[in-house]
Amino acid sequence: MRTLTGCEALREALREEMRRDKTVFCLGEDIGVYGGAFGVTRGLLDAFGPERVLDTPISEAGFTGVAIGAALAGSRPVVEIMFMDFILLAFDQLANMAAKSRYVFGPHAACPLVIRTPGGGGRGYGPTHSQSLEALFAHIPGLKIVAPSTPADAKTLLKAAIRDDNPVLFVEHKLLYSLRGEVPARASSRVERLGKARVVRKGRDVTIVAWSWMTELARRAARDLAEAGVDAEVVDLRTLSPLDSETVMTSVARTGRLLIVEEGCRTGGFAAEIGFQAFESVFDRLDAPIRRVTCPDVPISASPVLEQAALPSQTAIAAAAAALMTDEI
């Protein structure tokens, strides 16, 4: 095993896939000479040249449209959108073109497009650079959504996304870039299957469901809970669409308690979808009401104090799970 940062693992995945398949190319703002806003594409321009690592104008709708056209024509473009907040400028292209290509043009109109974008808060970037918007895109049929929580998953899931014949939104939490973790040395030949959650910690008392950076916080909260005598199971969704409901519901049916952690805003969030699916599927196995820990319905502040007050925390997750142990239906 090697220890890599999330940034290094993502760069390795891109490098390996570009070597393996000459139809893979990257495009986005400042990804070439500068190496990307968070350094993920650093060195790729020297390795593959300007025809496969393209610096684009500041026009998310424009270069996303170019990538969709290239994907429909047989290439496998990987787009970097500098901050997830800016993806709204390309929402029409993704929702009405990429996601619907097979439905409109037939099963042979593959659109193997990956949109990489940094999401989430925690770095004081303020309300227009800190949002978690994956719930908006989960409402769009035909679009896959991936949100890794570890460097190892960042690498293998990105490789799987690049090889997928459907458009994939690949959400990279900003705090994942510096997170260190073990990545198998032979991971170049290992590709994950999209749509499979993972139980990252076994437990018997309560199920905590999370994704992206919230999974890391849930792991830490589970350690705190263990010291207090609560045995929490942590399920990392890894992909929101397709959603692995079976793994989630199997866990909830066994523990009888469900806590969902989401960094996005509370109203209309993806946590509500998971909770209602549990209500429909395993209500008779629940011993307590379903709870969720989310960001309140407020923009994320640039003030570190206000930002931390809004974002879900390790302490808040542990407290919510502990409270579930005394709740009853």
Distance separating alpha carbons of residues 133 and 300, to the nearest angstrom: 12
- pLDDT at 107 (0 to 100): 83
Q: Which of 265, 322, 312, 249 is nearest to 288 (CA)?
A: 322
CATH fold label, 2-189: Rossmann fold (3.40.50)
Locate the DSSP E strands across 192-315: 198-201, 206-210, 232-236, 239-241, 258-265, 291-295
- Which stretches in the chain have pLDDT values below 70? 186-190
Residues classed as catalytic: 60, 129
Q: In sequence order, what DSSP letters do the residues of 106-152 get, joined into one string?
A: -TT-----EEEEEE--SS---TTS----HHHHHTSTT-EEE---SHH
- pLDDT at 184 (0 to 100): 87
- pLDDT at 189 (0 to 100): 56
**Spans of all domains in the chain:** 2-189, 198-324
Domain spanning 198-324, CATH architecture: 3-Layer(aba) Sandwich (3.40)
Residues 6 and 176: beta-carbon distance below 8 Å: yes
- pLDDT at 123 (0 to 100): 96
Q: In sequence order, what DSSP letters do the residues of 292-304 get, joined into one string?
A: EEEE-SSPPPSSH
- pLDDT at 1 (0 to 100): 79
